[in-house]
Chains A and B, each alone.
Chain A
Amino acid sequence: MKTPWMFCGAVAVMSATVGIDNAGAQDDRYRERIDTTVTLDRGGSLNLSVYSGHVNVTGVPGTKMRVKGVVDRGELRFDAHSTSVRMQVEPDGRHGGAAELEISVPVGTRVQIDGYSAPYTVKGVKGEVKLESMSGSIEVSDAVGRTQLESISGYIKADNIDGDLRVESVSGRVDVSNVNGDIEAESVSGHVWITGAKSKGVRAETVSSSISYAGSIDPSGAYSFKSNSGRITLAVSANIGATVSLETFSGNVDSDFPVTLGAGTNSTGRDSRFEFKIGNGGARIILESFSGNIRIQRDTGRDNKE
């Protein structure tokens, strides 16, 4: 999101210790508390970098951003402009830098957070969200616009996203629900579950873990689900129209829909390729696995989670 640079000159710049009180108690000598409120224009951005702890960001009406919490054995750098706020927690020592932060931002704020093991929750910001974590869990709900979530081993949950979503994980589970936009989800060994999607484009790939998709199939949409050894489950309504291309080397295929073999069907003696139509065949669905089983389910009422 581009911000007119001219506004930056007219805003207050806060740094380092604004609103931060050093606690005097012996047990809290390495702990800093922060409770400060700044003005942040609608459509502005919050950029936060934190090593560990816990961060909750919530969207609220108005143009005020409030930060409340504590920083343990670290220093909070805080730079605020009317269009952007940048916060960074710098550890004092190797194990410092933990922050427990409750942040409220104006609805429409673009939120970007990166960290190591701090779990994040971002709720109701109704703006673009980009979160990166090493092992901390990531939970986002009610985002609008492009949403990007990445974690190595942390659990990723995205709910009610109005916009395109990209999720990357290595071993953490990915739970995506109610996305109105294109979805890209990748993992190595973390399960990828997508429910309630209203997407014209979906691409989900794993290596060893399962993929489950339950959602609408747009007649002009393209859907691709690929796993090496994980199970793939596709649960769609009975009245969809799609051309399904399905290929597996040694996985089993289980379909509630009639499979009429025809053009696109092939067997080379080892791997098998099916292509068949459901209804008018409008959408394009690709299902591929090496050894994982593939299941096409007729309705979305069943719990696909393994």
Chain B
Amino acid sequence: MMKNQMTCAECDEMFLDYFERELEGTDRSRFAEHVAACVRCQGLIRDVDGIRNQAADLQELTPSRDLWSGIEARIQPQVRSIATTRPASISRTWLAAAAAALVIVTSGVTYFATARSVNEQPAPKKAAATVVATPTVAMAPTAAPEIVESAAVRTVTADPVAQRAPVRHAPQATRPVGSTLVSASSVSMQPTPSEMAFAGEIVQLQSVLSQRRAQLDPETVKIVEDNLGVIDIAVKRARAALSKDPASGFLTRQLDNALQKKVELLRTVALLPATT
């Protein structure tokens, strides 16, 4: 009898079903057969089980009505599906699966939110004569030096001769450091749909990171936290800029991308193997 051995890639696609106990029949036996012989997949299951055990001690987080009020219409089918097929006891204890499901949902939300924003962008001008960018926001003192350095006014002339020449947009004016500092914390703006959608998962994953800190390599944790700081700066900058121009699809994408990156990094940390 010929039988195909499952690969790790195929196995990866079945993990969620496995942890949800929804693997059946041939898939289940092939999966079990692979895991029994695969060190890598055994390790992954061990790690996720560890996270699940730790997550069992966490309080159940329920999305606020504010979250649903903004996005319910778009994601209701997915949410209903999860709620009706997962026993409540599993949902409480199975944080990683919930996080993964949330990522799927939030990715969809982000996609819809971003797509909508992009679609709502003003139509490009047919023949713009002048393009002037006047950054109106500088960063908090903790921001990287290039942030201030890049606060510049650029002019692109529409002169036909100039258009054919190589373009050099150099800063013509640099805002003095601290002259128009906008602290992200001082920016008052309603959370974007993606911010709301990501918020719950970020809190959950940060909690997992806190709990797993002692098990992880300190240097790795430091690198991760440094990079979370880098992402947070990007989030604050995009948010501050977006507060000045809420209709900007570009800035919305910048914010969404930074939030997405933060979630991805936190998820990576949540699945890191323990050193102890």
Contact = CB atoms under 8 A, between A and B. Distances in A.
Interface of A: 1-6, 8, 47, 49, 77, 79, 83, 86, 88, 94, 112, 114, 116, 130, 134-135, 152-153, 170-171, 188-189, 205, 207-208, 226, 228-229, 247-275, 288, 290-293
Contact of B131 (A112, A249, A274): A274
A255 B273 CA distance: 45
B7 A252 contact: no
Highest count of chain A CB atoms <10 Å: which of B128, B130, B136: B128
Interface residues of B, number: 75
Contact of A188 (B37, B147, B245, B261): B261
A249 B234 CA distance: 12
A270 B1 CA distance: 67
A250 B150 contact: yes
A134 B220 contact: yes
Nearest to A255: B167
B210 interface: no
B276 to A, nearest CB: 6
B219 interface: yes
A290 B219 contact: no
A268 B248 contact: yes
Contacts of A264: 124
Contact of B4 (A5, A114, A266): A5
Given A228-B237, A255-B167, A261 B254 contact: no
19 contacts: A5-B5, A47-B38, A83-B5, A112-B40, A116-B275, A135-B220, A188-B231, A226-B257, A228-B254, A228-B258, A249-B241, A250-B150, A252-B169, A257-B166, A262-B126, A266-B122, A266-B124, A270-B248, A271-B245
B234 to A, nearest CB: 4
A170 B262 CA distance: 11
Contacts, number: 210
Closest 4 CB pairs of A and B: A5-B3, A250-B135, A228-B234, A188-B227
Nearest to B269: A152
A132 B180 CA distance: 44
A108 to B, nearest CB: 16
A207 B244 CA distance: 22
Given A253-B167, A267-B133, A272-B133, A4 B223 contact: no
Interface stretch (B85-93, B105-113, B152-160): B152-160
A113 to B, nearest CB: 9
Contacts of A250: 133, 135, 147, 150-152
Contacts of B141: none
Contact of A116 (B147, B245, B273): B273
Given A229-B147, A258-B165, 19 more contacts: A4-B4, A5-B3, A6-B2, A135-B219, A152-B220, A153-B220, A207-B258, A226-B257, A250-B151, A250-B152, A253-B167, A256-B166, A257-B166, A262-B127, A265-B124, A265-B125, A269-B245, A270-B133, A291-B237
Contacts of B164: 258, 260
Contacts of B3: 4-6
B217 to A, nearest CB: 7
A250 to B, nearest CB: 4
Contact of B37 (A86, A114, A290): A86
B170 interface: yes
A170 B250 CA distance: 24
A259 B125 CA distance: 15
Contacts of A271: 133, 241, 245, 248, 250-251
Interface string B241-269: 10011011011011001100100010010
Given A252-B169, A292-B146, A3 B5 contact: yes
B132 interface: yes
A21 B47 CA distance: 32
Given A5-B4, A5-B5, A116-B217, A247 B132 contact: no
Contact of B163 (A6, A88, A256, A260): A260
B14 interface: no
A207 B7 contact: no
A195 B244 CA distance: 38
Contacts of B248: 268, 270-271
B245 A270 contact: yes
Contacts of A249: 133, 135, 241, 250-251, 254
Given A5-B3, A258-B163, A153 B39 contact: no
B82 interface: no
Contact of A229 (B144, B220, B268, B273): B144
Interface in B34-70: 37-40, 43
Contact of A267 (B40, B132, B152, B168): B132
Contacts of A226: 257
Contact of B170 (A207, A252, A267): A252
A207 B131 contact: no
Given A255-B167, A263-B124, A290-B237, A47 B150 contact: no
